[in-house]
Structure 1
Amino acid sequence: MSAQPATVSAPVAAVPPASAPGPKKKGGGWITALTWVVAIIFFIPILWMVLTSFHSEADATQSTPAFFAPLTLEGYRNFFGAAGASPWPPLINSAWASIFSTALVLILAIPAAYALSVRPVRKWSDVMFFFLSTKMLPAVAGLMPIYLIATKIGMLDNIWFMIIIYTSMNLPIAVWMMRSFLADIPPALFEAASLDGANLVQTLRRVIVPIVAPGIAATALICFIFAWNEMLFARVLTGVVAETSPVYLTGFVTSQGQFLAQVCAAATVISLPVLIAGFAAQDKLVQGLSLGAVK
């Protein structure tokens, strides 16, 4: 009796069962629609301001809004014309104070955030709370002491004093933001830079800055907006020489009337630098604000 050779069957790879499509998230369409509604509600005042700036004073001050009133550049001509003080010095003062103070904030905030995140000092949480506590005091509460100091040292109506004020105002929030960005950098990168012989300045310039560039852009844009829009200290501490654009804007509201079309034209022009900076850095802003959000 001859033995039949045993047949070895090749293993058949198990085919995973087709996964059923997951249930669709309910309410996604409603959330999107609600987001659009909220965005439109916030955008309507801006649209109305821009539209009013192209109307005449007679059409702008009507009790019934004139949507289809004739368009004119009268408001912009009055703003840039010789009807009052030139708007260029306040605009230049605001640009100079905002840009220079933002640069100083970044120069001071990045090393401070590095010391509080990558190379944490002792009781770093107390240091962060101290930075946060400086924002708890209402700005008007410190206005009188700052005014007296500026008077004593002869720095009233001085743009350099406003740069110092804006730097001190924005530094705490910049340190908080930059620390959250730097805390998400893997420690192995710093160890590798240290093994390669890089010092602190080289590590900051070649390792940290390229990685957290979106965070730096987001921090810089927020500090620029805060400095550009600040009016309380500028109203009290400046006069003619260091007047900023928000203070200049309030000069259009006089006892003779509000000159609504001219005010809207001035507000539109003054808002343009912030809008341009926001659109130019919107990709970096989104990346920076979402940096570290997903682990």
Structure 2
Amino acid sequence: MTAVVTVPVARRRRPRRGGSPLLGLLAWVLGLLFFAPVAWMVLTSFHTESDAATNPPSLGAKLTLQGYREFFGASTGTSPWPSLINSATASIGSTVLVLALAIPAAYALSIRPVRKWSDVLFFFLTTKMLPAVAGLLPIYLFAQKVHLLDNIWLLVLLYTTMNLPIAVWMMRSFLAEVPVAILEAASIDGASLPAIFRRIILPLSAPGIAATSLICFIFSWNEMLFARVLTGVVSQTAPVFLTSFVTSQGLFLAKVCAAACAISFPVLVAGFAAQDKLVQGLSLGAVK
């Protein structure tokens, strides 16, 4: 008789359809913890000052728009629009200048790398190692000497220099993912460098440009140290205007929360508008 040997067949593992419920619950808890201060700020902005000052906070208090009315100058006569326009001018202007300088620099460091390009990147990185407050006094004395105090264009130049290193690093990683073969084929077909930039590099790196511009815009919009010291009444930005609600009479919590929500709204709109480009740009090159 012939012995029959039975070979056990390995069972195929079924792919897991989802993660652990405990990890999902932990993610929800962490998300709610991060969102709780923002939700509390928004809710407090719709309360009166007496309800906002209660401890613990009154969640069922009557809602009102008085904080937003006072922020927009309904009772005080002080309009926030000049400060908002100044912030928009400084943020948008510096972001445009940063992109105009960072994209050619990133091209020279990635697609057509210059000699010792790693040293150049390290030099850009070293400019971020100095604390901002350490350079505040020299910048103030220089601005005073050339009569640029309380001038919005000084903030545009400062924000450009502050955001340029991180923009070069980001754009260099994005442009490094552009296939060189496409650029060589376009060059063989007779396309000039401006045409290659306009028709190939910029469309392929659009997610990276969107991510870089949004981050630079947020950094410029939220900056307050230089804006507080170098500006006065004419060039006052929105974060500096926000501090005017903290007076010697006390902290008007409802007004401050309403002002913080109103000032944060443009950044939130920009983030939601470029959400898909931002996620795609920040994850570019993460998965090969």
The normalised TM-score by structure 2 is 0.93
Are residue 219 (structure 1) and residue 212 (structure 2) matched?
yes
Cα 1:248–1:185 change in 2 (3 A) is: same
In structure 1, the residue matched to 2:4 is none
User: Equivalents in 1 of 2:190, 2:171: separation in Å?
Assistant: 25
User: Equivalents in 1 of 2:136, 2:30: separation in Å?
Assistant: 35
In structure 2, the residue matched to 1:261 is 254
User: Equivalents in 2 of 1:198, 1:246: separation in Å?
Assistant: 46
**DSSP 3-state at the match of 1:207:** helix
In structure 1, the residue matched to 2:31 is 39
Root-mean-square deviation (CA, aligned residues, Å) is: 1.6
User: Equivalents in 2 of 1:112, 1:35: separation in Å?
Assistant: 39
**DSSP 3-state at the match of 1:169:** helix
- Percent of residue pairs identical: 69
In structure 1, the residue matched to 2:191 is 198
Are residue 96 (structure 1) and residue 110 (structure 2) matched?
no
In structure 1, the residue matched to 2:70 is 78
In structure 2, the residue matched to 1:290 is 283
Cα 1:85–1:215 change in 2 (3 A) is: same
What is the letter of the counterpart of residue 189 of structure 1? I
User: Equivalents in 1 of 2:15, 2:274: separation in Å?
Assistant: 37
Matched pairs, number: 279
Trace 1:165-184 onto structure 2 (pairs within 5 A): 165-184=158-177
Are residue 118 (structure 1) and residue 111 (structure 2) matched?
yes
What is the letter of the counterpart of residue 22 of structure 2? W
1:65 paired residue among 42, 57, 73? 57
What is the letter of the counterpart of residue 27 of structure 2? T
Q: Which has the larger radius of gyration?
A: 1
In structure 1, the residue matched to 2:5 is none
1:29-67 CA-partner distances (Å, limit 9, x unpaired): 333332222221111111100100000000001122100
The range that moved more, 23-32 or 220-229, is 23-32
Cα 1:109–1:28 change in 2 (3 A) is: farther
1:227-280 CA-partner distances (Å, limit 9, x unpaired): 000000000000000000000001100110111001100000000000000011
User: Equivalents in 2 of 1:229, 1:196: separation in Å?
Assistant: 46
**DSSP 3-state at the match of 2:191:** coil
1:145-192 CA-partner distances (Å, limit 9, x unpaired): 111110011000000010000000000000000000011111101101
Q: CA deviation at 1:25?
A: 8.6
In structure 1, the residue matched to 2:232 is 239
**DSSP 3-state at the match of 1:251:** helix
Q: CA deviation at 1:84?
A: 5.0
In structure 2, the residue matched to 1:127 is 120
Runs of 5+ unmatched residues, structure 2: 1-8
Runs of 5+ unmatched residues, structure 1: 1-16
1:52 paired residue among 32, 38, 44? 44
User: Equivalents in 2 of 1:286, 1:30: separation in Å?
Assistant: 26
User: Equivalents in 1 of 2:228, 2:138: separation in Å?
Assistant: 15
The normalised TM-score by structure 1 is 0.91
What is the letter of the counterpart of residue 43 of structure 2? L
